[in-house]
């Protein structure tokens, strides 16, 4: 009976934005220190990766292309709302699938923002006209523009298991070109290879050294290692008491410092609370940055697993 009760309670989790399945007050997070505004340029991608959290592929246009004018509008809103953001991040899909992407980067850079581009550095980036635009941006703005390349593992064997045969070498080709024009690079991998953090970072360090890439493997901000995201894993809900129990602050959670702009098919661009939850309607905050200043209820398993707990429990 106890197991049945536990299973029933698990299915009731993350239903009410105010109250947990146990009847406790759910934790919320205010936008206390906005640092980054993300733009999802669209979910279309040149490849289809295993376990892609956003289901990007050559056919998924659930999030359609943003336009450069829409990006400029949100940059205007940033100034009007005085958020104090210093960084603009672009993700996809593959951002370089979007024909207006270099224009978006320029719009942000010309306004003085640091720009972070998440890319696989493959064929969409390597088209002649796109490369010309990138080279001009790097020449003009230098280290204000960072390219974070998705390298799921430091070895071709494991990387290609996730992204397809030959994809590792194609990404390295793009990285070599970025390196040749003096672009600032970072990398992002996955933590699913039964390696501890030190071994994984050493593998990346060896790769960078062999390719003469100026990327710090030991710096978590330059070599980012992401855990896998499995929404089926049973995790505890976050209550208002968690902050004191865990000795953490709402300011530690990603939604305290960032928002992301998306454009769902057939809809206007809108602002969501979390980059990890592009399809979760409960995390859509409205069409404007002013609307997106509301507190965020931690009403999703990812809130617990990735942003607050790392699997620990703080509920009574």
Predicted confidence at residue 41, as pLDDT, reads 97
Provide mean pLDDT across the span 56-75.
Answer: 96
* pLDDT mean over 128-138: 98
Q: Per-residue pLDDT tens for 31-65?
A: 999 999 999 999 999 989 888 878 899 999 999 99
Alpha-carbon gap, residue 185 to 312, rounded angstroms: 34
Q: What is the pLDDT of residue 27?
A: 95
What is the per-residue pLDDT for 312? 47
| pLDDT in the model for residue 229 | 64
The 10s digit of each residue's pLDDT in 1-15 is 444 344 444 568 999
**pLDDT for the residue 310:** 62
Cβ count within 10 A of residue 205: 16
Mean local confidence (pLDDT), 231-242 = 85
Backbone angles phi, psi at 21, to 5 degrees: -60, -25
Determine the distance from the C-alpha atom of residue 222 to the mean position of all C-alpha atoms in its chain, rounded to a whole number.
Answer: 14
Question: Is the pLDDT reported for residue 72 higher than 80?
Answer: yes
pLDDT at 78 over 60: yes
pLDDT tens track for 168-189 = 999 999 999 999 999 999 999 9
Cα separation, 169 vs 47, in Å, equals 14
pTM equals 0.92
Going from N- to C-terminal start, the domains of the chain cover 31-232+251-297
pLDDT given for residue 15 in this prediction: 93
* Least confident span in 87-91, 162-166, 227-231, 305-309: 227-231
Mean per-residue pLDDT for 95-109?
98
Q: Is the pLDDT of residue 276 over 90?
A: no
CA distance 260 to 187: 21
pLDDT at 165: 96
The average confidence (pLDDT) of the chain is 92
Mean per-residue pLDDT for 241-246? 92
- 31-232+251-297 topology per CATH: TIM Barrel (3.20.20)
Which pLDDT does position 313 carry in this prediction? 46
Average pLDDT of 87-98?
Answer: 97
pLDDT at site 257: 96
Sequence-distant (6+) residues with CB within 8 A of 310 are: none
Percentage of the residues of the chain whose pLDDT score is greater than 70: 92
Q: Name the band, by pLDDT with cuts 50, 70 and 90, for residue 307.
A: confident
Distances (CA, A) of 36 to 19, 85, 108, 211, 225: 29, 6, 12, 30, 19
Q: CA 145 to CA 134: how far, in whole Å?
A: 10
């Amino acid at each position: 009976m106890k197991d049945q009760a536990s299973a029933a309670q698990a299915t009731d989790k993350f239903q009410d934005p105010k109250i947990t399945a146990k009847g406790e007050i759910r934790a919320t997070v205010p936008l206390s220190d906005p640092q980054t505004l993300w733009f999802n340029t669209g979910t279309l991608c040149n490849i289809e990766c295993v376990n892609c959290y956003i289901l990007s592929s050559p056919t998924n246009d659930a999030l359609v292309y943003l336009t450069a004018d829409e990006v400029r509008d949100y940059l205007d809103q940033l100034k009007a709302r005085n958020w104090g953001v210093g960084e603009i991040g672009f993700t996809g899909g593959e951002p370089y699938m979007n024909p207006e992407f270099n224009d978006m980067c320029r719009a942000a850079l010309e306004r003085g923002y640091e720009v972070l581009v998440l890319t696989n550095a493959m064929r969409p980036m390597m088209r002649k006209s796109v490369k010309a635009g990138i080279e001009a941006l790097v020449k003009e703005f230098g280290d204000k523009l960072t390219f974070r390349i998705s390298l799921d593992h430091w070895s071709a064997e494991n990387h290609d298991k996730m992204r397809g045969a030959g994809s590792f070498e194609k990404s390295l080709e793009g990285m070599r070109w970025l390196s040749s024009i003096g672009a600032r690079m970072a990398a992002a991998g996955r933590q699913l290879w039964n390696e501890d953090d030190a071994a994984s970072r050493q593998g990346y360090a060896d790769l960078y050294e062999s390719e003469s890439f100026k990327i710090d493997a030991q710096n978590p901000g330059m070599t980012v290692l992401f855990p896998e995201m499995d929404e089926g894993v049973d995790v505890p809900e976050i209550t208002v008491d968690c902050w004191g129990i865990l000795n953490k602050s709402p300011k530690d959670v990603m939604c305290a410092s960032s928002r992301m702009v998306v454009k769902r098919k057939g809809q206007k661009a809108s602002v969501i609370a979390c980059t990890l939850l592009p399809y979760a309607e409960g995390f859509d905050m409205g069409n404007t940055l002013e609307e997106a200043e509301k507190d965020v209820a931690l009403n999703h398993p990812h809130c617990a697993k990735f942003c607050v707990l790392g699997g620990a429990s703080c509920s009574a």
